[in-house]
Amino acid sequence: AEEERVEVAVSERQIMFRCREASLFSRLITGQFPQYEQVIPKSSATIATINKNDLAAALDRVSLFVSSVRMIVSQGRIQLNANGPDVGDAYEEIEAAIEGPDLEIGFNGKFLIDFLKVTDSETVRMSFNGARTPVLMDTQDDENYLYVVMPLLLSE
């Protein structure tokens, strides 16, 4: 690739990048950047290590018609359930390495699929602290990429 010079200019409210063929202007954020570190769980009671492709395929199937998915994490497996009054029930079970106590939690399945689509790792980790706290998703290959998902409250 050919090297090209880029001009950068910064003012109080804008930044500009200009090269031979294009210019990019952007407004700068005013105020304080959110304290995102506060929502990232620091520890976890239960950790599930799962094959990414198995989890993605199972989530695709159970959340095809209903977005809310019930996840039951227990020794050696994860069960995924989804049901809707008009579309019926869906159930999938996949193998997983589980450390910690069993757990039942709800998610919007599409949010989990979003993370699985962008990671290149073969396995993913889900770190849980309970059914009502954020869940941390990451990979052992790239610990700089974290994904935090808020659970859904499940009805009985």
Q: Where are the domains of the chain?
A: 43-149
User: What share of the chain has pLDDT > 90, as a percent?
Assistant: 72
Lowest mean pLDDT among 55-64, 97-106, 123-132, 142-151: 142-151
Can you tell me the distance from the alpha carbon of 105 to that of 73, in angstroms, rounded to the nearest whole number? Answer: 8
Can you tell me the distance from the alpha carbon of 12 to that of 10, in angstroms, rounded to the nearest whole number? Answer: 7
User: What share of the chain has pLDDT > 70, as a percent?
Assistant: 99
42: Cβ contacts below 8 Å, ≥ 6 apart = none
Whether the per-residue pLDDT at 54 is higher than 80: the answer is yes
| Mean pLDDT to the nearest integer, 112-132 | 95
pLDDT confidence bin for 1, thresholds 50/70/90: low
pLDDT confidence bin for 140, thresholds 50/70/90: confident
pLDDT tens, position by position, 82-111: 998 888 899 999 999 999 999 999 999 999
Residue 79: the pLDDT is: 98
Dihedral angle, C-alpha 138, 34, 69, 145, nearest 10 °: -10
Structure tokens that stand for 130 in this block: 């309970």
Per-chain mean pLDDT for the chain: 92
Predicted model pTM = 0.78
Q: What homologous superfamily is domain 43-149 in, according to CATH?
A: DNA Polymerase III, subunit A, domain 2 (3.10.150.10)
